[in-house]
Every structure is written in structure tokens, then in C-alpha cells.
Chain A
Amino acid sequence: MRAQTNLVALTLALVLVTGATVVGVAVADGSLAEADRDPLDRHAATAVADRLVAADSPTTVRANALNASVVDGLNATRIETLAPPAEDAAIRVTLDGETVAARGAPDGGATVRRSVVVVSQSTSLQRTINVSRGSAVRIPQGVTRATVAVDPGANTTIRTVRANGRVLLYDGAGLDTNTTIRLSRYEPTTIRVDPGTNATGRVAVTYHRPLVDTRTLTVIADV
């Protein structure tokens, strides 16, 4: 009778150990499955996002500033050319939830977000300086290029055009030109001319004012 009690205890012990082993293996299985972070998905998504916002990318005007007209024409094939890791991957690129380019169903892949600005060009604006009144033109901040057309009236010599007090154009014999100038985009610029007394004529300043929109770029990729 005593020997049989021992046998029961032994069987129970073996069952318990078996149970513990099975539970241990199941937990290990779960952890292993959870540890799969799809590094190649993440790499593809990061590569696409980084290439799209890089300063030297054809889709940007500068780092993190997307060119709206190029972004409109974006598709999966062009993204693939920019970022080869996206080859054959299901991918979706969105700006504030609005799909820019998509191929396949990448749900379940890695997601990468970047804060970007989308820059679009407005139609050109023209401001005119009336030389006889000695007026000035103020170009708002954010404009990097402008065209200055100097058209002096009769018996007038315009020698200097200044931007924020610094000399922009100068010709001792008198300006009569149409020139593209580069401006700092960090501050507004005031364009003035130095006319003599009784001067007439006009100076036309033409520029495109960029429309800037802050958006979130989201890239989902599943290799």
C-alpha cells in the first residue's frame, strides 16, 4: 500500500513537470513570435521617408520641404527609383491621411512619420515702384527669387537699386535692365531706388510667393 502511494506521487510529479515544460515552451514561442519586428519593413519605410524629404531629392525644394507639383505626380514607380528598398514592396505614402502614392495593401507593415512642409508656387505677383514718388516695394519673407525690371523715364538716370539698404544693382551710367535677384527667405525685403530730383519711370518687381503648408508625411511599407 505504501509503495503504491509513492507511485501516485511520482506520476503526479512527472505530470506537473511536463505541464511546466509545455507552458515554458509556449511562453518562449510567444516571445519569439513577438520579437519579430520586421526590420526590413522598417528599413524600407525609413528609406522612402528619408529619400522623399532629403535636401538633394528631386521631390523637395530644401530639406523637409516638399515641392507640391512634384508630389502631385508621385507614384510607386518613382518612389522605387528614389528609394530602391521599396522595390516589390506594398507601400502607401500619405500626407495628412490623403494618399499620395500607393501600391498593394501594406497594412501590417512598418509605419514612419515625418513632419514636412509642402511648398507650392502662387501665380506671379507684380509690384511697381513709381520712381517719381520715390516709393518702395516690400517683398514678404519666404521669397528667394525676384525679377527686377528697371525702366527709367525720359531724362532720368537710375544708378542704384537697394534691397534692405544694401546695394543690389548699380551702374554708374544708368540702369536699364531686367535682372533676376536672389533674396534671403528668412526676412522681408524692401526694394528701393535712388532717383535724382524730378526723376520719372518705373521699376517693376515680379516674384512668386510660396504657399507653405505643414503636413505629416506617413510612409507604410511591407516588404
Chain B
Amino acid sequence: MTADRGLVPVVGKGLEAMIVLLYVASLVATLHGGVLPEYRTAAAAEVSDRTLATAADRIEGSVPPRASTVNVTRTVALPDTIDRATYRVRAADGELVLDHPDPTLSGRVPLALPARVVTVEGTWRSDDRTVVRVRGDDGRVRVILT
């Protein structure tokens, strides 16, 4: 009888500890399993959109007013990774395309450039140098992503 009474607080504390552990485990599982990946995807989608819009803005802003010789080299800052993966930005058919391993984070946006820009070509790798070059003369201008 006396020995049983001595066990009561030990068992009680043990149960309490178990409940707290179970609770913390379930909380961590919920946050990491559901909420966190969802946020990560939402934030990555936003970063992807912004990267594309910023890159397009920079390229459009690099084309100077009409001049007899055009020679512009400008570095464009892009995030190294989106959702912990490197990506590519390339020009295709007058559009800027972001190629990400995750197709939901890829996207494309048309470029607004003056009519004298004859070609936009090249590819940027996010973990490499991202430079836009604009070369040309009065009538024809080429935009190259390197």
C-alpha cells in the first residue's frame, strides 16, 4: 500500500510528459506537413512572378532612345534560386520565359520593345552572370542575354 502511494506522482508526471511530447509532435507534423510547404510554394510563386517582371523591366529599360550607335551592357540582379532550385530565363519569340524545374513556378511574359529591336535572344542561368547587352545602329538593335 505504501509502495503504491509512492508510485502515483511518478506515473502522473510520466503521463504528463507523454501528453506534452505527443502534442509537440503533432504540432510539428501539422506545421511541416501542411502549412509550411504551402507557404513555401506561395512565396516561391510570388518570387517567380517578380523575378520575371523585374527581368522584363530591366531588359525593356536597357534599350536606349534612337541613336546612330547603340552599345549598352547592364547587369541584372536575379535571385540565385527559387524554392531552392536554380532556373533559367530565356528569350523566345519576343517573350521572356522562366524555366523552373517545378512547372508551376515557370512562366512567360511578353516584352514591350520599340519596333527597331529586331531580335531578342540568349539565356540566363540564375547562378551565373546575368548581363543584358544591347547592340546596334540607328535602324536595327539586337538584345542579347548572356
Contacts and interface: CB of A to CB of B under 8 A. Distances in A.
Interface of A: 3, 6-7, 10, 14, 17-18, 21, 25, 28, 32, 35-37, 39-40, 42-43, 46-48, 50-51, 54-57, 63, 82-85, 87
A63 B53 CA distance: 24
28 contacts: A3-B8, A3-B9, A6-B16, A10-B16, A10-B19, A14-B23, A17-B23, A18-B27, A21-B27, A28-B39, A36-B46, A39-B49, A39-B52, A40-B49, A42-B53, A46-B57, A47-B60, A48-B112, A56-B65, A56-B66, A56-B114, A56-B115, A56-B116, A82-B112, A83-B112, A84-B112, A85-B56, A85-B110
B75 interface: no
Interface residues on B, range: 20 to 34
A78 B54 CA distance: 25
Contacts, number: 73
B111 interface: yes
A55 B65 contact: yes
Interface of B: 8-9, 12, 16, 19-20, 23, 27, 31, 35, 39, 42-43, 46, 49-50, 52-54, 56-57, 60, 65-66, 94-95, 109-112, 114-116
A40 B52 contact: yes
Nearest to A7: B16
Given A7-B16, A32-B43, A84 B110 contact: yes
A55 B42 CA distance: 39
A46 B58 CA distance: 12
A83 B20 CA distance: 60
| Interface residues of chain A: helix, strand, loop or mixed (majority) | helix
Given A3-B8, A39-B49, A55-B65, A25 B112 contact: no
Contacts of A6: 12, 16
B112 A47 contact: yes
Given A3-B8, A21-B31, A85-B110, 18 more contacts: A7-B12, A14-B19, A14-B20, A18-B27, A28-B39, A32-B42, A36-B46, A39-B53, A42-B53, A51-B112, A54-B114, A55-B65, A56-B65, A56-B66, A84-B95, A84-B112, A85-B109, A87-B110
A222 to B, nearest CB: 14
B112 A50 contact: yes
Contacts of A37: 50
B79 to A, nearest CB: 13
Contacts of A82: 112
Contacts of A87: 110
A48 B56 CA distance: 13
B54 A39 contact: yes
Nearest to A87: B110
A76 to B, nearest CB: 15
A14 B35 CA distance: 20
Q: Which 3 pairs of residues, A with B, have the shortest CB-CB distance?
A: A84-B110, A47-B112, A39-B53
Given A32-B39, A32-B43, A39-B49, A10 B20 contact: yes
Contacts of B9: 3
Contacts of A28: 39
A32 B86 CA distance: 23
Contacts of B46: 35-36
